[in-house]
Structure 1
Amino acid sequence: MSVHLECLSHTPLLGHFDPPAPVLEEVLSLQRAARDRIAAFDPELVVLFSPDHFNGFFYNVMPSFCIGTGAHAIGDFDSLAGTLNVPFDLATDCAAAVVNDGIDAAISHDMQVDHGTAYPLQHLIGALDKYPVIPVFINSVAKPLPTFKRARLLGEAVGRWAASTGKRVLLIGSGGLSHQPPVPEYASAPEQVRKSLDGAGYTLSPEDRAARTNRTIAAGKAFVQDRNSLHPLNPAWDNGFLDMLETQTYEQLDRVSNDLVSQVAGRSTHEVKAWLAAFAALSAFGPYRSSHRYYREIPEWIAGFGALSAKSLGA
């Protein structure tokens, strides 16, 4: 039994509106290095914690957590599209174990995922289907949001199950860090947008998909010109969060409210709960040591962009 962890920010704007060449190469280089580490580890199973951006989960049914026993990626923002290699029996067993452990996670036999899931598979592994992967969705944009404590307990439950498999397990957390792209809020959205958030956005037309892409690109360009056009990035919060992951003191987040995080770091910062769940899962294997920490503000991608790797000391 062994375990390896990689957490990585994702961005739909890669290739659409990039930072200066030295910064872009810095990010691409760190992703290649992580990809090499994963290839050397050669996982038998990947557990991927990730959010969604109103592309697969909507207000008609919005679980806090969902475990996919089958999944397909839609290819938004030119990310990889196609079927994920989800091991049905293992994923079903994982879901049952998590529920029996007191975490009310939903299941999906055909989870629709977007760039939040496809990005790490593309840039850390190179394909959607190279390794068996269990996708674990964490609601990060649709109020009411799960708390940090519940995300931690979800991760611990998944980790206990993963440790029991005896397999080489790769844990991935995708998302964050501080950012607030132009994702609509239901309470203030016009009627047509509410219809999309209620489920009409599940099958967007090519024209509507392109319009959504272009709006995000435009927001990135505007943010570079005026850092007040969107919620500011917060490197102090981001690095404090990374410190807690590295020192395994993240239970402090149990006392942090969702509203406070939205106020200080942006509404989409809740994607860091995917990182928290991944590290909590790693803790189920025993004490760990982190490495390869990276952080940079990248306004072109509307993100505090980070990466962090870790291994169990007993692995």
Structure 2
Amino acid sequence: MADAAGGRIVAAFGLTHTPGLGDQMDRPPRSQIDRLMTGFDAVRKQIVDAKPDVIIAFVNDHFDMYTLHGMPGFAIALGSTHWGPTPETENWIQMKRGPIPGHAELAHDIYGSLMQDGIELFRSESAELVHNVLIPKKYLWPDLDIPIVPIFTNCFIPPLPTFRRAHELGAAVRRVIDRRPERVALMASGGISHWPPIVFDHDDPADPLIERVRQFHLHGREVWKKDPALAMDLIQREKEMSASGQQLINVEWDKEILALLARGDVASLVKLEHEQIRALGGPGASEMLMWVSLMGAMNDAAGQIVMYEPVTEWMGGVGLISYRASAATPGSGAAKV
């Protein structure tokens, strides 16, 4: 890791936060679940061995913190304590709500330094964390209480940050890490191709979910008071979509984008346009912004594709990249992409 990336980074990885990894583990074929768990086990061992003091997490919010009343391009949560999952997501994430440690000193340093660099982050205190952080925790550091510094990117409500700016964000974070004493792990969470019902590619007045989701975009978690069933109705919609026969995973594009990340092909990635990738990978594909921020924080080092599994039952591919060659497992997606 030090040879590839230098500095105080002891682990780095990117993965999808596919909702199916919550309460739908019984739906895909057992053989596919086994391959997923083999990949997760490899990176979990890496994290345990690395003993990070803190995880800097490049993630996106899902209207649990930021809404149309205030939607920053980039934001950071500075608090010493975060919370999650939200009460509305406990059942499907299958975790109980509780405090999650933050690292306020490092977070404030990142915030101040990036402001000096001309990257104006919106600041929050305590973050509400859901599957963006807690699905990765569930599989990669379930028994460790590692402090989190979450850095959020708007991936849903246009105009979105450019991929070039996301890369610059990661590079600026790296400059802070390089002068800090902490053992840092880096994480990007989100993507790859997927069509989540939290956003829509259509405007069908006959779809009863659309107006409810619009209210969620506008008011965030306040909506649960009036519409407490919405969270589980969104999960049910995903199940219906996955069983519909629609083509909801672009395997070719997933493999292409993972290969670019694994090669450290920054020139290609920073030229990506949201309209193009939305057409290829759905409205959830812009979550790859966080992976490009991770690339920037890793000084464009090459990574290793630990696994890629297109899971039809979850209408999304599960991808995992590590910046440590030994995290790759024989027979994993690394051989297939």
Interval containing the TM-score (normalised by the shorter chain):
0.7 to 0.9
The 5 Å alignment of 1:174-193 reads: 174-185=189-200, 188=203, 192-193=212-213
The residue number in structure 1 matching 2:159 is 144
The counterpart of 2:187, out of the listed 172, 177, 184, is 172
The residue number in structure 2 matching 1:97 is 113
1:48 paired with 2:57, answer yes
SS in 2 for 1:297: strand
- 1:171/1:256 CA distance change after superposition, 3 Å: same
1:271 paired with 2:287, answer yes
Instruction: Give 5+ residue unaligned stretches, structure 2.
Output: 1-6, 326-337
The residue number in structure 1 matching 2:170 is 155
Aligned length: 304
CA distance in 2, matches of 1:248, 1:222: 34
1:32 paired with 2:48, answer no
CA distance in 2, matches of 1:244, 1:209: 41
- 1:15/1:45 CA distance change after superposition, 3 Å: closer
Given that 2:23 and 2:93 are in contact with CA atoms closer than 8 Å, whether structure 1 keeps it comes out as no
The residue number in structure 1 matching 2:242 is 223
The 5 Å alignment of 1:1-315 reads: 1-3=7-9, 4-17=11-24, 18-70=27-79, 71-75=82-86, 76=89, 77-80=92-95, 81-126=97-142, 130-185=145-200, 188=203, 192-202=212-222, 204-205=224-225, 208-228=227-247, 232-283=248-299, 288-311=301-324
Given that 1:31 and 1:123 are in contact with CA atoms closer than 8 Å, whether structure 2 keeps it comes out as yes
CA-to-partner distance for each residue in 1:128-180, whole Å, 9 max, x for gaps? x7112211111111222111111111111111111211322100111111101
Cα distance, 1:241 vs structure 2: 1.3
The amino acid across from 2:224 in the alignment is L
Q: TM-score, normalised by structure 2?
A: 0.83
The amino acid across from 1:74 in the alignment is P
Instruction: Give 5+ residue unaligned stretches, structure 1.
Output: none
Higher alpha-carbon deviation: 269-278 or 114-123: 114-123
CA RMSD of aligned residues (A): 2.4
CA distance in 1, matches of 2:223, 2:139: 26
Cα distance, 1:47 vs structure 2: 0.5
Higher alpha-carbon deviation: 292-301 or 219-228: 219-228
Higher alpha-carbon deviation: 13-22 or 145-154: 13-22
Cα distance, 1:2 vs structure 2: 3.3
Q: TM-score, normalised by structure 1?
A: 0.88
CA distance in 1, matches of 2:53, 2:33: 31
The amino acid across from 2:311 in the alignment is I
CA distance in 1, matches of 2:297, 2:306: 19
CA distance in 2, matches of 1:108, 1:166: 24
Given that 1:220 and 1:299 are in contact with CA atoms closer than 8 Å, whether structure 2 keeps it comes out as no
Cα distance, 1:209 vs structure 2: 4.7
The residue number in structure 1 matching 2:329 is none
CA-to-partner distance for each residue in 1:54-81, whole Å, 9 max, x for gaps? 2222111000111111222234123443
Given that 1:56 and 1:114 are in contact with CA atoms closer than 8 Å, whether structure 2 keeps it comes out as no
CA distance in 2, matches of 1:263, 1:292: 24
SS in 2 for 1:198: helix
Cα distance, 1:222 vs structure 2: 3.5
SS in 2 for 1:14: helix
SS in 1 for 2:309: strand
CA distance in 1, matches of 2:52, 2:305: 19
